Structure 1
């Protein structure tokens, strides 16, 4: 049988399956592994956490490397007037083991100490994982703060974070005396690892045969860029001379594009949905000497996410059991609603949830922009509706925070609409299990994948979405989900948003509400169809298998 590539104290706690014997390391800035481990912000972390669990279940010879964020992303609470309050609270974790491994890496002319902590795979059912921290007494205050906050708002500190993830992760592998066959960069945050690899081998082909890259960004402007000279001053490129860095990356100007460099240093890259793969190839078709870009559609770990009662109803095709269990799960969710907001929701009323990262292109407030239609929806006594929003804006994105607070004030007069705080794994689970309709309305082509609707579907919630991301591979309108009719892509933004808003209300009033209230058996059939269709393709077992067979090989 194949053996773990990691030394014994950190070896895989399961037998390595022969088909997954190739050794691989997965670099990512965030992992949503468990509610108690607050080192993630949103979709990227949810995806990475599911990947690590599925890889373990399949017996893959994979390990993860991330950063131990002292303050996590942030703790989301309420201020005096019920608005969003951003709190940075220190986290401590007794389940992490000190590896005893400490080393220094150069950052902006300073030797910064890094300590590696270990998460045994048996703790949360993942692959073995290492988390790096600079929050050590040996470091000065600036160096300690590097690993304080995920996605720090300070550009210089973010560069230092990327060096810790990439160079720090690569140095950890040196300390462990292992060199995996595959180095997987999940986003370009760990790109500096590629330059460490190059320093070791001094051969571009040796780097490329090891490196693979997953991009989650569907717009060129969204890819991170920094001053080349600034990165050089920070030791991002290690000791490699500038001329050599420019030669292997093909970047000769002042602006260094991290994703472009990753595409030139990898032997294969992928987008995270079929549509995103197409968008990415078109986006980079002008760039020379990049690797091929395919796609591996994101997925979520069903074993972790699915409610056993809902799953039992699906297996038995028992509509009564489905409705009964869904009602129980709604009551559980509504206890949280009442606790946070003082509003008492009814488990017999259709409940819509919009819950994910608050960002402009995701348009969390879209359906409230026509206040008359919004009021009419919430005042429908014949076919009543309940509406819940949740999600974390970036803590320094004041536009997104403004939208969040605007929705709090907009929903205040309505006993059947509200906004929840504390959007982390467990609240996400409650919302997916307790919703009837999962609303997703990003601007089309702006959502690379968007995975929240997958786990909602696994738990008997029907997707109502614009036609973007993973939905394009899953949805059949009126059969397993509801699709907001695509707006003409040539419309001005205001007209496009209006068309999507009207499409939502048309779907709600003409199809969803009549089906839910007047034809419950037909509603249950559609729910069962959605649940049956979402697996196995959108289960993370398929994703983890596909990375090995399509990307790593």
Structure 2
């Protein structure tokens, strides 16, 4: 593909004619393309799919990870094993474009690959790699692993994405009206723009928008200023110039704060997160406006359309049978991985997402006696599935995963699965009756897995965090843990409160309803499917970005 070739082999619709470059460290577009770790990538993948279907003038800029995030395997005792396997993608096109980014004073060669829109029905995506013959081994490792644990390597990754992505757009003659940072990883593109526009900060602010996904100040990355300067993170700008541009004079450079001071506008990813983000950052001063655009997922990709067809035709029997068929398919994977034979007529609870402490994978196990009663209930039988990937160096979360594996061995109706990527995610949402979501409030910025679960006939049982306050109407389209005065509860008290009410909901309401009042259950399922399709399809989200951010 020649550098000057128009990357848009489809018509751009007039409302979306402004050119946008969307930068993200990860894109979950298809199971076959392992360039993602979790929710941030799922969101970016849905965004590109909707941009394609809407005819938006938007291109993605990402990284081509040689080993992906990691492959989740099992040790001999069934515990988690982190595997690294080289990924090969014959369908990516070599653009023929190579250029250099100066890192640590040395030229690092970068090559750009192109994912044509027709492959996965997504907006054009350019993926950058340093794993080419022109580089030494150290430089090649920059694009080996998504979210490398080494701080210097991680900064180098951000430089390739931001500085390299900015250069690529110039080579393509793609005069973007907006440079959209999906999280602050690609912040160095702002320094590329500062140099491009004669160090005129106002010119950068006209073009930069920023989406923040992290509702905790401690979760926003900070790196030592000397290391950033030594590595060339600021694209040749001096310490004084960076301090003047960002207002950051600390020894630790705060990536999110810099983005908020260099962007025209920023957004949180739910209404609640928008409020939390404004409260977090307004004390710093001189930041841009923080609005919110609630995350969403691509209905066309995620939803089971046969379920929706049954609802449209008013055929409850067909709806029931289709859901059982989906459960049977999901349970083949359960049997294959764990040797457990789950039944399609048994209520199935699934907790599946990235393993992180605040998401509380093992919350129900705070009361093991009550869990034992739940899992051995013969009147109202249940099946339970856990799945998800911890960060490969997060030993605490790995320990929780492994403890769940050992715990599951005691019960034939409890399973812990590995390989939680797009394919397994979709299978589990199709196999779930209850999608369990219990983060500590207000630490989940959005949390979109429940959206795609609802698109597959699963009901959300959730704490009132992230996108949930905009969605759940208790006992009408889902089930909600009664909120407490979380600001005045310590972590232990909050966990006890939430676990208690999860059990109360399961024992007193959900299980009796599923087995004794199934028509009422179906009415909630149908309402959930309708509500999520209306408000939480990524087409709505992609349109809102043009209406609220690219203006």
User: Which TM-score band applies after superposition, normalised by the shorter structure?
Assistant: over 0.9
Using the TM superposition, give the Cα deviation of residue 178 of structure 1 relative to its aligned residue in structure 2, in angstroms: 2.4
User: 1:260-299 CA deviation, whole Å, 9 max, x = no partner?
Assistant: 0000000000000000000000001111111000000000
- What TM-score, normalized to structure 2? 0.99
2:326 corresponding residue in structure 1: 329
Q: How does 1:214-363 map to 2 (within 5 A)?
A: 214-363=211-360
1:171 corresponding residue in structure 2: 167
CA distance in 2, matches of 1:311, 1:302: 11
Q: How does 1:55-454 map to 2 (within 5 A)?
A: 55-201=51-197, 202-454=199-451
Q: Secondary structure at the match of 1:100?
A: strand
* Contact 1:117-1:130 at 8 Å conserved across structures: yes
User: 1:282-326 CA deviation, whole Å, 9 max, x = no partner?
Assistant: 001111111000000000000000112112112223211111000
* Contact 1:42-1:356 at 8 Å conserved across structures: yes
* Contact 1:317-1:528 at 8 Å conserved across structures: no
- What TM-score, normalized to structure 1? 0.98
Gaps of 5+ in 2: none
CA distance in 1, matches of 2:431, 2:130: 40
* Contact 2:346-2:382 at 8 Å conserved across structures: yes
* Contact 1:10-1:128 at 8 Å conserved across structures: no
Q: Secondary structure at the match of 2:535?
A: coil
CA distance in 1, matches of 2:154, 2:271: 30
1:551 corresponding residue in structure 2: 549
Deviation larger for 170-179 or 428-437: 170-179
* Contact 1:10-1:120 at 8 Å conserved across structures: no
User: 1:187-236 CA deviation, whole Å, 9 max, x = no partner?
Assistant: 00000000000001021110000000000000111000001111011111
CA distance in 2, matches of 1:317, 1:448: 36
Using the TM superposition, give the Cα deviation of residue 411 of structure 1 relative to its aligned residue in structure 2, in angstroms: 1.1
Query: 1:16 is matched with which residue: 2, 12, 18?
Result: 12
CA distance in 2, matches of 1:386, 1:552: 46
1:528 corresponding residue in structure 2: 526
CA distance in 2, matches of 1:478, 1:28: 37
User: 1:425-444 CA deviation, whole Å, 9 max, x = no partner?
Assistant: 00000000111000000001
Q: Secondary structure at the match of 1:326?
A: helix
1:3 corresponding residue in structure 2: none
Using the TM superposition, give the Cα deviation of residue 8 of structure 1 relative to its aligned residue in structure 2, in angstroms: 5.7
CA distance in 1, matches of 2:293, 2:466: 12
User: 1:319-350 CA deviation, whole Å, 9 max, x = no partner?
Assistant: 11111000000000110000000010011100
* Contact 2:3-2:97 at 8 Å conserved across structures: no
Q: RMSD of the TM alignment (CA)? A: 0.9
Deviation larger for 149-158 or 175-184: 175-184
Gaps of 5+ in 1: 1-5
* Contact 2:3-2:96 at 8 Å conserved across structures: no
Using the TM superposition, give the Cα deviation of residue 487 of structure 1 relative to its aligned residue in structure 2, in angstroms: 2.6
Asked if 1:507 is matched to 2:505, the reply is yes
CA distance in 2, matches of 1:530, 1:178: 41
* Contact 2:3-2:171 at 8 Å conserved across structures: no
Using the TM superposition, give the Cα deviation of residue 495 of structure 1 relative to its aligned residue in structure 2, in angstroms: 1.3
2:492 corresponding residue in structure 1: 494
User: 1:487-511 CA deviation, whole Å, 9 max, x = no partner?
Assistant: 3211121111011101100000011
CA distance in 2, matches of 1:171, 1:310: 46
Q: Secondary structure at the match of 1:29?
A: coil
Deviation larger for 303-312 or 59-68: 303-312
How many pairs were matched up?
548
CA distance in 2, matches of 1:60, 1:8: 19
User: 1:378-417 CA deviation, whole Å, 9 max, x = no partner?
Assistant: 0000000000000000001000000000001111110001
